[in-house]
């Protein structure tokens, strides 16, 4: 990684893990919350949606988003780590049914902040680092502070939803969402289909701008 830390892909039997300096970042055994991220963001999409996904992971959120999108959808994926893209073309490809082979998908080796400027999007999914509660690599203010949230708000089409994955609840992030003009809710979601540890998904929509008041006569 750019900061000198080590990212490793491990296999144990049929299960894959991506580890950072010995800590598990993600596992093919626990992806229920990643799939829920897509369901919460991609319900009620228009006929030809534009969807942005920040963070490729093992492809489970991308696959779920594709399953909820029409044949004319365009799904952009931003992944900052080039090796993760390569792994999803290689040993991880079949885990989520080879979503990178889908013609609706365009993958960019880039920071998702760079792609926000190409909005508007009908849904935005963010699964970056460990989320806003305990980020490891990213600058939390650049993505999860007011500056990043204002870029996110500007990239959303009217009535579009954004879903943000987080390992835990974050009071600071919830305050920032409110301050930056979002209506939001937190959904605690099990990591495994039959339970397991809870992750948090923040579902956020841009608050309507109040209509200007007519001047009093």
* Residue range 176-201, pLDDT digits in tens: 999 999 999 999 988 777 777 789 99
Q: Where are the alpha helices (DSSP H) in the chain?
A: 32-42, 60-67, 82-89, 112-116, 140-144, 146-155, 171-179
Q: Buried b / exposed e across 139-178, counting CB within 10 Å, b at 16+?
A: ebeebbbeebbebbbebbbeebbbbbbbbebbeebbebbe
Q: Which of 140, 111, 128 is nearest to 37 (CA)?
A: 128
Tell me the pLDDT band of 6, cut-offs 50, 70 and 90.
Answer: confident
Q: What is the pLDDT of residues 152-184, one digit of tens each?
A: 999 999 989 999 999 889 999 999 999 999 999
In sequence order, what E strands does the chain have? 7-12, 15-20, 23-27, 50-54, 74-79, 105-109, 121-126, 156-166, 182-192, 195-206
Q: Quick one: tokens of 19? A: 């580890």
Q: How confident is the model at residue 212 (pLDDT cuts 50, 70, 90)?
A: very low
**pTM as predicted:** 0.90
The pLDDT mean for the chain works out to 89
- The pLDDT > 70 percentage for the chain reads 91
Give the fold, CATH level 3, of 30-206.
Rossmann fold (3.40.50)
Q: How far apart are CA 185 and CA 127, in angstroms?
A: 17
Query: Is residue 217 scored above 60 in pLDDT?
Result: no
Tell me how crowded residue 186 is: count the other CB atoms within 10 A of its CB: 17
For residues 212 and 69, the model is more confident at 69
Task: List the domain boundaries for the chain.
Answer: 30-206
pLDDT score for 28? 93
d(CA 166, CA 134) in angstroms, rounded, equals 8
Q: What are phi and psi of 45, to 5 degrees?
A: -75, 150
**What would the two tokens of residue 204 be?**
């956020």
pLDDT digits (tens, 9 = 90+) for 45-95: 999 999 999 999 999 999 999 999 999 999 999 999 999 999 999 999 999
Query: What pLDDT digit, counting tens, does each position of 128-144 carry?
Result: 877 887 665 555 567 88
């Amino acid at each position: 990684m750019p900061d000198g830390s080590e990212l490793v892909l491990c296999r144990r039997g049929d299960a894959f893990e991506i580890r950072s300096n010995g800590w598990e970042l993600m596992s093919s055994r626990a992806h229920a919350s990643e799939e829920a991220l897509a369901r919460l963001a991609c319900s009620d999409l228009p006929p030809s949606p534009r969807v942005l996904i920040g963070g490729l992971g093992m492809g489970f959120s991308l696959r779920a988003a594709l399953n909820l999108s029409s044949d004319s959808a365009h799904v952009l994926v931003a992944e900052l780590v080039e090796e993760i893209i390569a792994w999803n073309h290689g040993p991880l490809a079949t885990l989520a049914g080879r979503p990178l082979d889908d013609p609706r998908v365009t993958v960019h080796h880039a920071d998702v902040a760079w792609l926000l400027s190409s909005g508007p999007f009908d849904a935005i999914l963010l699964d970056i680092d460990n989320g806003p509660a305990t980020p490891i690599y990213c600058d939390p203010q650049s993505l999860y502070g007011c500056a990043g949230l204002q870029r996110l708000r500007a990239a959303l089409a009217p009535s579009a939803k954004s879903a943000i994955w987080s390992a835990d609840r974050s009071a600071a992030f919830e305050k920032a969402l409110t301050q930056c003009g979002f209506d939001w809710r937190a959904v605690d979601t099990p990591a495994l289909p039959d339970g397991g540890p809870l992750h948090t998904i923040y579902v956020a929509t841009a608050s309507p701008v109040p209509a200007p008041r007519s001047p009093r006569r």
